[in-house]
Amino acid sequence: EAAVTQSPRSKVAVTGGKVTLSCHQTNNHDYMYWYRQDTGHGLRLIHYSYVADSTEKGDIPDGYKASRPSQENFSLILELASLSQTAVYFCASSDVGANTGQLYFGEGSKLTVL
Amino acid sequence: GDSVTQTEGLVTLTKGLPVMLNCTYQTTYSPFLFWYVQHLNEAPKLLLKSSTDNKRTEHQGFYATLHKSSSSFHLQKSSVQLSDSALYFCALRASSGSWQLIFGSGTQLTVMP
């Protein structure tokens, strides 16, 4: 079974503070992603990476940075957290090798910015 | 550009009735689609994925058929159960070659006793 783990699972941050969300996968997948989900809504892609030490912008990258120091680890960084970034964040890895692009999601990180 | 449309935001049904959740897509690439299910406070999980044109795929009582002629991949089940209450997402593999998935806005299915 594919495994993607996120930390922290829940965090409260103050406006203007720095937040780092971490993701670790044991799937040996090259592709990793960060998605944002607002309550009851769809998933929007923030950043993704297909190789260590390289990241790419997704559909909503403004206000977010990403870091991929190794194949297994992918972090999402909010340098100056804002109220509008309150959401649930999902990390995922992709089974590109199977030629389908199926995503395996972590359990999510609930971020509340006050 | 690539896009996915789910027309129903909320579907409420009584247990035992059939359901169809709509999904249509737009892409310039050969389409590959997924249905993901997300139960309350859980991560999205793959429910099923498309096969070849006009071929039905099934999993856990749900089924869907890719129809390229109508750009659709509707999700169906013949008899819904209480445990089927969840948020359902249709997703399209992007044609950009970046292995991104483009998600629809989701359909919340609520099954009543």
Q: What is the pLDDT of residue A98?
A: 57
- CB-based contact A90:A106 (threshold 8 Å): yes
Interface check B56 vs A, CB under 8 A: no
- pLDDT band with cut points at 50, 70 and 90 for residue B12: very high
Question: What CATH number belongs to B3-112?
Answer: 2.60.40.10
Give the torsion sign (CA, A111, B102, A48, A107): positive
Q: What is the pLDDT of residue A68?
A: 97
| Residue B96 reports pLDDT greater than 90 | no
- Average pLDDT rounded to a whole number, residues B104-112: 95
- Average pLDDT rounded to a whole number, residues A7-28: 96
| Residue A10 reports pLDDT greater than 70 | yes
B66, HSE (Cβ side, Cα atoms, 13 Å): 20
- pLDDT band with cut points at 50, 70 and 90 for residue A95: confident
Chain A residues near any Cβ of chain B (below 8 Å): 31, 33, 40-45, 48, 50, 56, 58, 90, 94, 96, 100-103, 105-108
Chains A, B: CB contacts under 8 A, how many?
51
- Which tops the pLDDT comparison, A97 or A81? A81
B16-62 pLDDT tens trace: 999 999 999 999 888 889 999 999 888 899 999 998 899 999 999 99
Chain B residues with CB-CB distance to A61 below 8 A: none
The C-alpha atoms of residue A109 and residue A27 are separated, in whole angstroms, by 20
- Give backbone dihedrals phi and psi of B4, rounded to 5 degrees, phi first: -130, 135
Choose, out of B21, B36, B101, the residue to mutate when testing the contact with A (most A CBs < 10 Å).
B101
The C-alpha atoms of residue B6 and residue A26 are separated, in whole angstroms, by 33
* The one-letter amino acid at B53: D
What distance lies between CA A1 and its chain's CA centroid?
20
As given in the structure block, the two tokens for residue A70 are 């190794």
A45-73 pLDDT tens trace: 999 999 999 999 998 999 999 999 999 99
The C-alpha atoms of residue B18 and residue B11 are separated, in whole angstroms, by 12
Average pLDDT, chain B: 92
- pLDDT band with cut points at 50, 70 and 90 for residue A99: low
Pairing verdict, β A103-105 and B101-103: unpaired
Q: What is the pLDDT of residue B100?
A: 81
Q: What is the pLDDT of residue B98?
A: 65
Mapped onto helix, strand or coil, the DSSP state of residue B83 is: helix
CA angle A105, B102, A44 (to 5 degrees): 65
Q: Minimum mean pLDDT among A1-10, A29-38, A61-70, B73-82: which range?
A: A1-10
Q: How many CB atoms are closer than 10 A to CB A5?
A: 13
Inter-chain touch A100–B42, beta carbons under 8 Å: no
Interface check B43 vs A, CB under 8 A: yes
- Average pLDDT rounded to a whole number, residues A2-25: 95
Q: What is the pLDDT of residue A82?
A: 97
